[in-house]
Amino acid sequence: MKKYSILFLPAILFLFSCSNINDESKNESNDSARVQGASMSHEEMEMKEMAEKQKNEAPKGESPYRNAKIDIKVFENKEANITGFGYDILIYDALYVHQPHIPAINGNRGFKAESQAKIAAEFVVYKIRNNIMPPSLSVQELDSLGTLK
């Protein structure tokens, strides 16, 4: 019996030490996964919070362009790969926006009518004057303006 107990004790110690090593490596890998997952979710949460703040907050301060001289020039595209109409927005006679195609949609297609380009440009000017930056247009905005028909 003593013979077996001498062999049994080292075997138990060996198994116990192996299980501790596996548990520690699992804990380390779980901890690193949690840290990576936490940092990603934390960054995503911050980005979502910032986006919500931008949506819900009114622009701070007076726009520097509130009383600026802003002109719109609608043009017909002459380039071979772009058809239709586009627009330029000039602030104090300096080019601020050059938009030869419909923004927010795929492709290089211009507006079908000069009036559609003018409506979109006027909305961008509204955003500039009211300090809504960037003065980009979404597909939903273009659709509600009736410029995608």
Q: What percent of the chain has pLDDT over 90?
A: 44
Q: Any idea where the domains of the chain sit in the sequence?
A: 1-57, 70-145
**30: pLDDT strictly greater than 80:** no
**9: pLDDT strictly greater than 60:** no
What are the tens digits of pLDDT across the range 39-79?
Answer: 556 766 666 666 666 555 555 567 888 999 999 999 999 88
Q: What is the pTM of this model?
A: 0.59
Q: Residues 5-19: what's their mean pLDDT?
A: 58
- What are the CA-CA distances from residue 101 to residues 28, 38, 39, 93, 110 (Å)? 53, 41, 39, 21, 4
CA gap 116, 143 in Å, rounded: 11
Q: Residues 115-143: what's their mean pLDDT?
A: 94
pLDDT confidence of residue 127: 93
CA gap 5, 91 in Å, rounded: 92
Which residue has better confidence, 115 or 42? 115
Binned at pLDDT 50, 70 and 90, residue 149 comes out as confident
